[in-house]
A and B are shown apart, each in its own frame.
Chain A
Amino acid sequence: MDAVLEIAGLRKSYRGRKGVRRALDGFDMVVGAGQVHGFLGPNGSGKTTTLRTLLGLIRPNGGRMALFGQEVPRHLPQVAGQLGAIVESPQFFGNFTARDTLSLLAEAGGVRRERVDAVLELVGLRDRARERVRTYSLGMKQRLAVASALLKEPRLLILDEPANGLDPGGIREMRTLMRNLAESGMTVLLSSHILGEIQLICDHVTIISAGRRVAAGSVADVLARNASASVRVRLEPGVDLIGAAAILKAKGAEVTVQTDHFVVGNAGNPAQITRILAEKEIYVSELSPVEADLESVFLELTGTGPVEGANRQVDEVGAGWGQ
């Protein structure tokens, strides 16, 4: 599959009063043509810096970036026509209407005027297009931002938090829109915090933490690679759950007891569980692998899961990924 977006060893530092902060620390990313690619990372991990750098808004300190096989930012003007993007919260001049805003962008970019009506229809703003943008809700501004990104019929659509501010119906519409765009052959790069949405929409994913890539690949591969060897064990009714767990613990198992079952964390060979318990005449009624979801993988890889009794600060990540 051809790569429409390639980033290798991207570095960006900011100088502040507290010294140099590395926002991107050798970040790598590849997005193939036709993918709906999720771009995940905790707050301050470098997602928006990556997108801004890719779009020529921020100058990198090092690394290589390419869009459609052409080096950027040097060739960005040549590929900009194939690229639609919104970065962070949508921002527009409040006194213009949505139609004015889009028609000015269309004129500046040499896009056909008919596209304005088409994208307004597509994002559901047709009937509100003649109202000033300052009267819009956050969700409507978000729709307008998506409309502006779609105006040039891009081959690659980059959306930073497109579901931000949308109501549940709007989120579902946005999901459908993303799918339709992907089916039409458009490559979509989607940055979001709503991991459930990413899992539903995206086929590929890149996870960034502290300015570095910590996972990449198809969603299924990332989940499989990071799935734990945990199994859920349910016993026959009336059997002493705590006693059974103690037997397994005595044999070295990592057991977490729940209300009506327990989970064995290091179950590399689940057959051992049935054998050990059967020797004590305890019989298992259910033995099923615990499936990893994107949220748990994300929290595990980025080290941003909640820690009991601690308040995690922005920029704090788990051991091993610090700057």
Chain B
Amino acid sequence: MGSVSLAKAETRRLVKRRFTRLFVLCGVLVLAAVAAGVLLTNHKTGPEQIAKATAEAQANYQQTVLANDRIKQECQRAQGTPDASNFPPNCEISDPAPSDFDPKWYLPPTFDFRESFGEMVTTFAAVLALVAYIVGASFVGAEWSSGGMMNLLLWRPRRLQVLGTKLGVLLSWTTVLTVVLGVLWTAGFYFIAKARGTTDSMTSGAWQSIGLMELRALVLVLVAGALGFGLASLGRHTATALGVAIGVTVVLQFGLAVLLGLANVKFPEVYLAPFWVFAWLNKQYVSQDFKTCDFSPTGGCQPETFTITWQMSGVALVALFALVVGGAMWTMRKRDIT
């Protein structure tokens, strides 16, 4: 009864906050803008579009053949004059092949659900992780800085239960929000693909793969929310979490990337968080070291690689979660609240 009433009160407190509503609205607007952009820039490809693209490819081929012939004639005329050096020896100019003008290159962009929805899940996870981080930080940070936490502890003098309930409420709310928006996101892009692309290659295996990717996106969003919450609780202010986020982005990512580049470090991506997030969502990220051989575009050399797997990223996420949330719980238990 006691814990339930506390959880209900904290849920009310979370959804009642203007900050929560504002950032959820911002997140939803960003996602809506992305969906609208995809909808407006993609088109359905039917027989009409294919015929049009084929005609355009054919016309381009004909224009190129004519231009080629004109250049050949100019070359012939230039033979024996100083201008001959502007053309290949003996006017050996090869004719374009019809295969160089594939009609599919002339088709308007189209949204292939199986090919492209993975990128959309990444976008969705990034936006919601940011919202969860900020809302999580503000939820507990504002309580600390306004004195609300102290008031609550006068009513509920069980520190770990209070902080744990707040975190539980945040993660439950984040799960509901992510699942609801995730369903809408998936359905929205399915209909975009139906209207402006294709869903033809969606097998049950493809759906399962998307489902698992979305599940990993949910985990990422939850960890982001917990990190924001934990850091703000450690610093007893929302600004602590936001400061850490900015510090990590500026110093540990941009700064480190520059430093790694200068130091010619092997596989610099391994030290940068976005690639670990990419690996978590897309099952792996392969970093290649092009300095290990004389790379030639015609092939012949395989660069050395380092693969970040989703399992490695998962361990990193769990470790980060345990460190920050565990630290927040430990300090909550030990600190004097003044």
Do the beta carbons of B151 and A91 come within 8 Å of each other? yes
Q: What 0/1 pattern do residues 33 to 72 of A give for CB contact below 8 A with B?
A: 0000000000000000000100111110000000000000
Across chains A and B, the number of contacting residue pairs, with CB separation under 8 Å, is 76
A105 & B155 in contact (Cβ 8 Å cutoff): yes
A73-104 contacts to B, CB under 8 A, are 73, 76-77, 80, 83, 85, 87, 90-96, 100, 104
B214 part of interface (Cβ distance < 8 Å): no
CA distance A259 to B187 in the complex (A): 94
Q: Does B338 make an interface contact (CB < 8 A)?
A: yes
Q: Are B146 and A107 in contact (CB under 8 A)?
A: no
Is A250 on the interface with B (CB-CB < 8 A)? no
Asked if B146 and A109 sit within 8 Å, CB to CB, the answer is no
With a cutoff of 8 Å between Cβ atoms, the chain A residues found around residue B336 in the complex are: 52, 57-59
Name B334's closest neighbour in chain A (CB-CB). Answer: A59
When distances are taken between beta carbons in the complex, the residues of chain B under 8 Å from A105 are: 9, 151-152, 155
Per a CB cutoff under 8 Å, which of A57, A59, A92, A110 touches B5? A110
- Any chain B CB within 8 A of the CB of A148? yes
Contacts of A95 in B (CB 8 A): 17-18
B153: Cβ under 8 A from any A Cβ: yes
| Interface bits B2-33 vs A (CB < 8 Å: 1, else 0) | 10011011101100111000000000000000
User: Could you tell me the dominant secondary structure of chain A's interface residues?
Assistant: loop
B263 at the interface (CB under 8 A from A): no
| Residue in contact with A77 in the complex, picked from B1, B8, B151, B158, CB distance below 8 Å | B158
From A57, which residue of chain B is reached at the shortest CB distance? B337
- How many positions in chain B have a CB within 8 Å of any CB in the partner chain? 30
- Decide: B157 and A109 in contact? CB cutoff 8 A: no
Residues of B within 8 A of A110 (CB): 1-2, 5
The answer to whether A108 and B18 touch (CB under 8 A), given A58-B336, A77-B157, A93-B146, is no
Chain B interface mostly? helix
Partner of A73, one of B6, B8, B9, B157: B157
Are B9 and A104 in contact, CB atoms less than 8 angstroms apart?
A: yes
Task: Give the shortest distance, in Å, between B200 (CB) and chain A (any CB).
Answer: 51
Do B8 and A80 have beta carbons less than 8 Å apart?
Answer: no
Q: Judge whether A148 and B151 touch: CB under 8 Å.
A: yes
CB neighbours (8 Å) of B153 from chain A are 56-57
The proximity string for B residues 72-109 relative to A, scoring 1 for CB distances below 8 Å and 0 otherwise, is 00000000000000000000000000000000000000
Residues of chain B with a CB closer than 8 A to A104's CB: 9, 12-13
The residues of B that contact A108 with a CB separation of less than 8 Å are 5-6, 9-10, 152, 155-156
Q: By the criterion CB–CB under 8 Å, are A58 and B337 in contact?
A: yes
User: Is A94's CB under 8 angstroms from B146's CB?
Assistant: yes
A100 touches B16 (CB 8 A): yes
Please determine whether A109 and B12 come into contact, CB atoms closer than 8 angstroms: no
Q: Report A-chain residues with C-beta under 8 Å of the C-beta of B143.
A: 93
Q: Name 28 interchain pairs, CB-CB below 8 A, sorted by A.
A: A55-B157, A56-B153, A57-B154, A57-B336, A57-B337, A59-B334, A73-B157, A76-B157, A77-B158, A87-B150, A87-B154, A90-B147, A92-B148, A93-B143, A95-B17, A100-B16, A104-B12, A104-B13, A105-B9, A105-B152, A105-B155, A108-B5, A108-B9, A108-B156, A109-B5, A109-B155, A109-B156, A152-B155
Q: A52-B336, A80-B155, A109-B156 are in contact. List 7 more A-B contacts (CB 8 A).
A: A56-B157, A76-B157, A87-B150, A92-B148, A96-B16, A105-B152, A108-B6
List the 3 closest A-B pairs by CB distance, nearest first: A91-B147, A107-B9, A108-B9
State the B residues within 8 Å of A (CB): 1-2, 5-6, 8-10, 12-13, 16-18, 142-143, 146-148, 150-158, 334, 336-338
